[in-house]
Structure 1
Amino acid sequence: MPGREAMTADKVPEQHSPRLEDQLCFAVYQAGHAFNRVYRSVLAELGLTYPQYLAMLVLWECDGLTVKAMGERLMLDSGTLTPLLKRLEAAGLIRRERDREDERQVRLSLTAQGESLREKGRCVPDSMARALGGALESKGRLLEQLNALRDALLAAAEPA
């Protein structure tokens, strides 16, 4: 047809082809990778990986949680969480013990070494603040938006 651009396999009109740079999911994905790069270097001084740091944060906030409660808090299943917790236990940072009242539950508690790491861990937010520079000024608003985004996506993923 006159006036229409010929369509080939490698040339699709722009209005029909989503662009990678325009995808919110890709921006979130890239930001996650960038965060992980910075966290990797900051957390190396603590001897922790990012997922281990998150688990330690939860225990520093509320020692004595069950594995189930930790998984719910971090949105991780036991197949992902158990190896992470075993590594923290092998490093001497936590203890995993069967609950005295309910043998099916495993309780997590900090060791003295895990508790002492809390003090060293206090530098992590400051290190991240330096890495974020001016972006930290809108941290509260950004956190609200990300939490709302997460909640909307979780609601959309729920079976009808």
Structure 2
Amino acid sequence: MQPSVDMLCFALYSAARATTQAYRSLLEPLGLTYPQYLVLVLLSDDRARTVSEIGDELSLDSGTLSPLLRRMEQAGFVTRSRRARDERVVEIGLADRGREVRAQLAPVAECVFDAMGLGAENGIALRSQLHALTAALQAAPDLHPALAG
């Protein structure tokens, strides 16, 4: 068995943690967590989305997303409202504070990208590889039989 530092999964885990920490340092002064930032970026076009649409786009389950959105509503970043034609559906939109902080969020991703030191071409290539890796793992058959053999 390989030492953990030589494993691809450890490198991915470490890179994800370092990336999230870089975002955290930029977002804390704005009163935002990284997942809250992702929601605001998603809503930046001022189009309301359902909770399930947000969950699908950000790969967050409702158990994580519902309390996150509740806290964002309490902080004045988003609004939550039930659809008139189907009250089971909750729509999320930008609130005044969310619109105000949106302008301050514009340079955040670029600051983190610059800190990564990849350059535009390598950054785009890495993003494509990570999307392909994610898609492949999501499409993979059940891996449990591999442990039985």
Query: Given the two structures, how large is their TM-score scaled by the length of structure 2?
Result: 0.89
Instruction: Please tell me whether the aligned partners of residues 51 and 91 of structure 2 are also in contact (alpha carbons under 8 angstroms).
Output: yes
Which residue of the partner structure matches residue 92 of structure 1?
Answer: 76
Which residue of the partner structure matches residue 38 of structure 1?
Answer: 22
> Which is helix-richer, 1 or 2?
2
Pick one of 41, 50, 53 that aligns with 1:69.
Answer: 53
Look at both structures and tell me which one has the larger radius of gyration over its CA atoms: 1
Which residue of the partner structure matches residue 34 of structure 2?
Answer: 50
CA distance in 2, matches of 1:70, 1:45: 24
* Structure 2 SS opposite 1:45: helix
Structure 1 residue 129: deviation in Å?
A: 2.6
Once the two structures are superposed, residues 60-96 of structure 1 have per-residue CA deviations (whole angstroms, 9 ceiling, x without a partner) of 1462100011011111111100010011000001110
Which residue of the partner structure matches residue 66 of structure 2?
Answer: 82
Structure 1 residue 19: deviation in Å?
A: 2.5
Q: Kindly tell me: are residues 32 and 91 of structure 1, through their superposed partners in 2, closer, same or farther at Cα, counting changes over 3 Å?
A: same
* Structure 2 SS opposite 1:18: coil
Instruction: Please tell me whether the aligned partners of residues 79 and 92 of structure 2 are also in contact (alpha carbons under 8 angstroms).
Output: yes
Pick one of 132, 138, 142 that aligns with 2:126.
Answer: 142
Structure 1 residue 112: deviation in Å?
A: 1.8
Q: Stretches of 4+ moved more than 3 A in 1?
A: none
Q: List gaps (5 residues or longer) in structure 2.
A: 144-149
Query: Given the two structures, how large is their TM-score scaled by the length of structure 1?
Result: 0.83
Q: Kindly tell me: are residues 49 and 139 of structure 1, through their superposed partners in 2, closer, same or farther at Cα, counting changes over 3 Å?
A: same
Q: Kindly tell me: are residues 158 and 109 of structure 1, through their superposed partners in 2, closer, same or farther at Cα, counting changes over 3 Å?
A: farther
* Structure 1 SS opposite 2:76: coil
Please tell me the root mean square deviation across aligned C-alpha atoms, in Å: 1.6
Structure 1 residue 111: deviation in Å?
A: 1.0
